[in-house]
Amino acid sequence: MRPDIVLYDAGISQAAISQSVNAMANADLVVIVGTSMKVYPFAGLLQYANPAAKVLAINQQALNLPVDFTMIQADATKYFAELAVQ
């Protein structure tokens, strides 16, 4: 059985990329979690983000992104476990 994820050296369908680009262009909020933002094509999706969208990054390592964003430097698993929505 193949998991529903992309493994290293596995191809990504053009349809999946198109859906991702469309989602970025229409999002009001982009949340980046647990990534170095160095693996493409995922890292390149940020260039398609809606210019009015807020961008939030939650990552153990600080990120340097080409857009204005809010950085929460923390372990994402712990951050979300402690997150309380009011």
Q: So what's the pLDDT on residue 23? A: 96
Q: So what's the pLDDT on residue 10? A: 67
Q: So what's the pLDDT on residue 9? A: 63
Which of 58, 84, 86 is closest to 73 using CA atoms?
A: 58
Q: So what's the pLDDT on residue 41? A: 82
Question: Considering the entire predicted model, what is its pTM?
Answer: 0.80
- 10-residue mean pLDDT profile of the chain (86 residues): values are 59 84 96 90 92 96 95 94 84
Q: So what's the pLDDT on residue 5? A: 61
Instruction: Please enumerate in sequence order all residues whose Cβ is within 8 A of that of 46, keeping only pairs 6 or more positions apart, or say none.
Output: 24, 30, 32, 37, 55, 65, 66, 67
Contact status, residue 76 vs residue 34, Cβ threshold 8 Å? yes
Q: Which two tokens stand for residue 20?
A: 């991702």
Q: Which two tokens stand for residue 45?
A: 């999706």
